[in-house]
Amino acid sequence: MENLQLYLAILSGVAILLFLIMKWKLNAFLSLLFASIWVGLVGGLSGEEIIDSISNGMGSTLAFVATIVGLGAIFGSLLEHSGGAQALAKYLLKKGGESRSRLALLTTGFIVSIPVFFDVGIIILMPMVKALAKKSNRHVLYYGLPLLVGLGITHSFIPPTPGPVAVADILNVDLGYAIIVGALVGIPIALICGLIVSKCLVPKDEPIEVDGTSEVMSSQIDTKLVHTIMWILGLPIVLILVGSLFDTLAKEGVIEPNQFIDALGFVGHPFVSLLIGTLLALYFLGVKKGIGKEELFKVTNNSLAPAGSIILITGAGGVLKTVMINTGIGDIIAQGMMNTSFSVLLLAYLVTVLVRIMQGSATVAMLTGAGIVAAVLPGMDLSMLEKTFIMMAIAAGSIVLSHVNDSGFWLVNRMLNQSVQQTLKSWTILSTVISVTSFALIFIAYQLV
């Protein structure tokens, strides 16, 4: 009877979350909090236990995520304000030439989406796509889809973008592992979907109408700015990877801990490495380019507005995880899975897919999937690599079937000047192929570890 009550708690909690977001159009932060409280009440927690779960879940999650998302938002706003994203795209297009222009746009999206939000990446780079389409007299989707694939895959799979960082924290996945595995999954899927699958989705019988201007492409390329951006972007990631590597080697007893290892761990911690990157961006993309103190303050201050929303939603996702652990729901699900052949990897993917399709937000889908799976993991003996693959399954589920309830769908629709039907036939199908193929790759790799 108790098990039935707990299953009812989780099923009704997810239903309420979807109802509040879809029917009432309630903010995701509030919806996740209401759903968490409901799960706690139905799951048998007292009022005091629910309040403690909210406090502990919010605090433990934001203790890590808030700093990283805040620094990443400032970093991204400086990249956008300096014109670095456009400069990078032009540089890669020039180096690749006409024959490799789609690969250049795919690569640009993949790199730019590391510090820049998915929506912002579309807004600042789509004019270049239109200009290139007009210049070459090709359909705008020919160039637009590879860019979207690059932006979408990094946004879902590779830290330090907010979604992967939040999921990594909830599942206690090392960011070094997440970056490496995310890249190993994301790069081949990006090449397959961005260069091959996307080409099949470009309409052959539609008239070519592009409202872009070729002046965007004709402006001079600031090569020095591009090189600056590349090393500033790469430095924090390298520091995180090096710090994670030596920390793992020390924990496994391969090397002896010493002051040098401690120093690498300190500098390679995401807090410190991203702070270093942000300070370098402030100087090289701001001060050195002649941007005044007041303008820099405005740029960095404005960047924290969208970051604040993501931080609160992430914290609410941490609350949902804590409530489910405290009710014992995770233990019940884990026990049920051990008695059957159902995989935790498949659970992670399917839950995320369900929430994504129903309510549209990739972030909410990732957090809901992570919250449910995190409640199951304590009862399972999993390695860090296995937990990282579970994180990637959640990422794969979050990108599936972008359609009319997804704000990203409408942004793609407007920026490419496509009809709803055209967007459904292109980006919706492509996002689903990305999801399915990436999960297939993850599932195969998971069986081999």
DSSP code string of 311-348: HHHHHHHHHHHHHHHHHTHHHHHHHHHHTSS--HHHHH
Q: Is the pLDDT of residue 221 over 80?
A: no
pLDDT above 70: residue 199: yes
* Contact between residue 408 and residue 423 where contact means Cβ atoms under 8 Å apart: no
pLDDT-based confidence at 212, cuts 50/70/90? low
Q: Closest by alpha carbon to 415, among 69, 151, 26?
A: 151
Q: Is a pLDDT exceeding 80 seen at residue 217?
A: no
Q: Which pTM does this prediction carry?
A: 0.89
Task: Work out how many domains the chain is built from and give that number.
Answer: 1
How far is the C-alpha of 382 from the C-alpha of 400, rounded, in Å? 26
| Percent with pLDDT over 70 in the chain | 94
- The residue behind tokens 């304000």 is 81
- Token couple for 200: 């099949």
User: Taking all residues of the chain, what is their mean pLDDT, rounded to a whole number?
Assistant: 87
Q: In terms of Cα–Cα distance, which of 426, 436, 440, 427 is closest to 398? A: 436
Residue 337 exposed, middle or buried by CB count within 10 Å (0-12, 13-18, 19+): middle
On whether the CB atoms of residues 41 and 299 are closer than 8 A, the answer is no
Would you state the pLDDT for residue 219?
Answer: 60
Q: Which residues, in sequence order, are CB contacts of 108 under 8 Å at separation 6+? A: 85, 88, 89, 92, 125, 147, 150
- Does residue 131 contact residue 105 with C-beta atoms inside 8 Å? no
Rounded distance between C-alpha atoms, residue 382 and residue 435, angstroms: 24
**370 and 394 Cβ atoms separated by less than 8 Å:** yes
The residue range of the domain holding 54 is 2-448
Q: Which of 399, 330, 370 is nearest to 156 (CA)?
A: 399
Q: Which of 83-87, 234-238, 265-269 has the lowest mean pLDDT?
A: 83-87
Angle between helices 384-398 and 344-359 (to 10 degrees): 20
